[in-house]
Structure 1
């Protein structure tokens, strides 16, 4: 069972000139800018990649680069093949010795989750570091294309990005103009945690035609109190938690019988891996949320 710290993540070869991998020449240099605005140049596509966040691991596989990944952090559990990767600690407590022992030619890191001290040490050792930080749904597609370039699986990465954008556009067309609902997203109960308007989950909420009641808070994943939630009078409360099952603490809101979300029976759950990870599965979570909000609109 993942720890509370894991929740904050849910947030964090020898070249062969004549060989082509998914449309990219093995020896071709890669010039790219990461999500922190830093330019990165690889002499050739990476062949030994270490992932420092579960969502990065999943994105690498989705971009056709799974065979290039030689190590990953704890909870990198999707797809199934990722479970067999050597572990290099957790996203916030990276085992630097394990990373170095794997002799990576690229480390892909998470701006919000990994410690700068770890990344600075890797750079000092001459290991290229690419920073990933998706904040909008379309950033997932961007990441897929970027990871394909980094690993030399350009065709697979671009195809995955194109399919993701097409599915996203279909959801936007179907739900974004629906009557607005006021929604409180409960990431955790003790402490009571939510997300602000800059978080990827808020982009999903907007996609489905709702407004995050704490969108204006300055912190990406802030703690709030019960009184502030009651003051916003949400029509819908959505919880995630840390497991596949609906958290029992979602029902704690039932004591507030005059709260619109409670009075109308709009207490919903979405499996965290489907809405808290910055991966193609975010659209699975979006479809579930959009469906739940249609139920809520019918109860107005």
Structure 2
């Protein structure tokens, strides 16, 4: 055997040994419930139980491993073509078990613990997500990438997300504060408090959520309380025809109305705590910069 051939053969054997070692090394991650989950090998069959989890799995590079999703999993587009196994109200546990998943990804705010505990009792590995801030999102992508064997890709995408958020943080660090009312829903009228990710995006852009101190994550509010808070900008991603915003024009005394600072965001970019939050935050920052120019 020639020296060159021997070298190539040796490199090939080393590569095979490396892959074998990786496959034999348990892959462990700590989930949102502080539970440590270890898999003997990268999960090749994954069931996602929330739209946010579905999107994060695809971002982590594990899209090809996802065999079923929950209702409303519509991004990326290929996720919408996958079989569905229920929604936040009810899961088809028999269908999930029949799929022989090597990993089930659940969402603490949307999935029932009792149902998922039944899956875990059957030996199905369950990993819980609950991203509350920007770093949680990046960390979720890294964890899912690790559990499914896509560490490098997941790490690159998480790093790009962190860099995009850091860039906005630096750019708007000294920006003039803008009082913001973010409308989540119309009837009943709902917003977010300071612990919700949308509020953290507002703060990232130099805004101040007028209901940040509310004790509830997604509180119901009254028109009178919004009038009393007198926001300088009103933002929503709700009715695509701007109908929600148009209703505020009945109150010309509101600063946001007087300065025409009523903004309709692109749907889905901020509502789901996924990597698209970076694009949503960028759009929000642009809107609040418009508002500053009108104050």
TM over 0.5: yes
Alpha-carbon distance in 1 for matches of 2:19, 2:217: 42
Conservation of the 8 A alpha-carbon contact between 1:28 and 1:45: no
| Structure 2 residue 158 is matched with structure 1 residue 167 | no
Could you tell me which residue of structure 2 aligns to residue 212 of structure 1? 209
Q: Provide the secondary structure at the position in 2 that maps to 1:150.
A: helix
Q: For 2:265, which of 265, 270, 282 is the aligned residue?
A: 270
How many angstroms does 1:20 deviate by? 3.9
**Count, aligned residues:** 280
Alpha-carbon distance in 2 for matches of 1:226, 1:101: 49
| Aligned-residue RMSD, C-alpha | 1.6
Alpha-carbon distance in 2 for matches of 1:112, 1:247: 28
Q: Provide the secondary structure at the position in 2 that maps to 1:223.
A: coil
Q: Provide the secondary structure at the position in 1 that maps to 2:54.
A: helix
Alpha-carbon distance in 2 for matches of 1:95, 1:224: 35
Could you tell me which residue of structure 2 aligns to residue 286 of structure 1? 281
Alpha-carbon distance in 1 for matches of 2:27, 2:52: 23
Could you tell me which residue of structure 1 aligns to residue 142 of structure 2? 145
Could you tell me which residue of structure 1 aligns to residue 8 of structure 2? none
Conservation of the 8 A alpha-carbon contact between 2:60 and 2:150: yes
Could you tell me which residue of structure 2 aligns to residue 47 of structure 1? 44
Alpha-carbon distance in 2 for matches of 1:100, 1:247: 43
Alpha-carbon distance in 2 for matches of 1:179, 1:232: 18
Higher helix share: 2
Alpha-carbon distance in 2 for matches of 1:285, 1:217: 23
Higher RCO (CA-CA < 8 Å; seq separation 6+):
1
Alpha-carbon distance in 1 for matches of 2:53, 2:19: 24
Superposed counterparts of 1:152-231, under 5 Å? 152-231=149-228
Q: For 2:255, which of 249, 257, 260 is the aligned residue?
A: 260
How many angstroms does 1:119 deviate by? 1.2
Q: For 1:92, which of 67, 89, 97 is the aligned residue?
A: 89
Could you tell me which residue of structure 2 aligns to residue 115 of structure 1? 112
Q: For 2:128, which of 114, 128, 131 is the aligned residue?
A: 131
- Name structure 2 gaps, 5 residues minimum: 1-15
Conservation of the 8 A alpha-carbon contact between 1:164 and 1:280: yes
Conservation of the 8 A alpha-carbon contact between 2:192 and 2:211: yes
- Name structure 1 gaps, 5 residues minimum: 1-16
Alpha-carbon distance in 1 for matches of 2:267, 2:147: 28
> Which is greater in Rg?
2
TM-score (norm 2): 0.91
Could you tell me which residue of structure 2 aligns to residue 6 of structure 1? none
How many angstroms does 1:19 deviate by? 7.7
Judged with a 3 Å threshold, the aligned counterparts in structure 2 of structure 1 residues 19 and 65 are, in CA distance, closer, same or farther, namely: farther
Conservation of the 8 A alpha-carbon contact between 1:27 and 1:45: no
Alpha-carbon distance in 2 for matches of 1:221, 1:20: 46
Alpha-carbon distance in 2 for matches of 1:162, 1:212: 28
How many angstroms does 1:28 deviate by? 2.2
Alpha-carbon distance in 2 for matches of 1:90, 1:247: 28
After the TM superposition, list the runs of 4 or more consecutive aligned residues in structure 1 that deviate by more than 6 angstroms.
none
| Structure 2 residue 101 is matched with structure 1 residue 104 | yes
How many angstroms does 1:27 deviate by? 3.2
TM-score (norm 1): 0.89
